[in-house]
């Protein structure tokens, strides 16, 4: 009898282990498919290029490479590239942070509704979260970027990032 109970317990552990692996694996598959679903509304033939360009825009923004950001904009600034670069440098100085304010952008949804009063000639909008540094703390803020496909490539607006009422980070915060 002890041998039967031991065998059942042993099989129970094996079953539980297999079940745990199955749950973990299905969670990973779901997370990967969910990530792909973010860009599902975008035509498949241009999706890879969009994600590539969005990663570049994010990197340029994080690194303060505003000349490269400017070259990816949907619409040029009225004052031209020099005025855009001057304004971005001025804004960076106002933030008075030794490290970049913008850290990352995580897309959550892509859609082509409600973009008509955006002030840019966009066809789509990507909603997501920006990780930004506020008063030494990393916080996530709702963010969006408008996008348009023209001349066989994707172009963007600047990131639009929602700030808190008093521009203070949520407490508690941890700087990284």
- Residues 87-131: tens digit of each pLDDT: 988 887 776 655 578 899 999 999 886 555 556 677 899 999 999
5 lies in which domain range?
Answer: 1-37
Residues 59 and 134 in one domain: yes
In a domain, 101, yes or no: yes
Residues 19 and 62 in one domain: no
In a domain, 171, yes or no: no
Pick 163 or 167 by higher pLDDT.
163
In a domain, 133, yes or no: yes
* Alpha-carbon span 17 to 137, nearest angstrom: 40
Residues 48 and 127 in one domain: yes
Residues 30 and 84 in one domain: no
Residues 33 and 48 in one domain: no
Instruction: Look at residue 133 in the predicted model and tell me its pLDDT.
Output: 83
Residues 60 and 137 in one domain: yes
Residues 66 and 136 in one domain: yes
pLDDT at 32 over 60: no
In a domain, 157, yes or no: yes
* Alpha-carbon span 103 to 176, nearest angstrom: 10
Residues 11 and 85 in one domain: no
Cα three-residue angle 36-122-73, rounded to 5 degrees: 90
* Alpha-carbon span 144 to 127, nearest angstrom: 4
In a domain, 139, yes or no: yes
Residues 139 and 68 in one domain: yes
Say if residues 149 and 138 touch (Cβ distance below 8 Å). no
pLDDT tens-digit readout, 66-99: 999 999 999 888 889 999 999 988 887 776 655 5
Residues 13 and 92 in one domain: no
How many domains in the chain?
A: 2
Residues 32 and 45 in one domain: no
In a domain, 142, yes or no: yes
* Alpha-carbon span 67 to 89, nearest angstrom: 11
């Amino acid at each position: 009898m002890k041998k039967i109970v031991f065998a059942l317990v042993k099989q129970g552990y094996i079953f539980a282990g297999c079940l745990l692996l199955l749950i973990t694996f299905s969670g990973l598959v779901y997370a990967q498919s969910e990530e792909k679903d973010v860009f599902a509304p975008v035509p498949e033939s241009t999706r890879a290029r969009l994600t590539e360009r969005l990663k570049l825009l994010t990197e340029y923004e994080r690194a303060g490479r505003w000349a490269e950001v400017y070259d990816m904009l949907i619409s040029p600034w009225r004052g031209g590239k020099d005025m855009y670069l001057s304004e971005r440098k001025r804004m960076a100085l106002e933030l008075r942070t030794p490290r970049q304010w913008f850290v990352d952008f995580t897309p959550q949804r892509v859609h082509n509704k409600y973009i008509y009063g955006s002030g840019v000639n966009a066809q789509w909008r990507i909603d997501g979260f920006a990780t930004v540094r506020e008063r030494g703390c990393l916080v996530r803020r709702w963010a969006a970027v408008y996008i348009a496909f023209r001349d066989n490539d994707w172009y963007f607006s600047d990131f639009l990032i929602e700030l808190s009422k008093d521009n203070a980070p949520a407490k508690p915060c941890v700087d990284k």
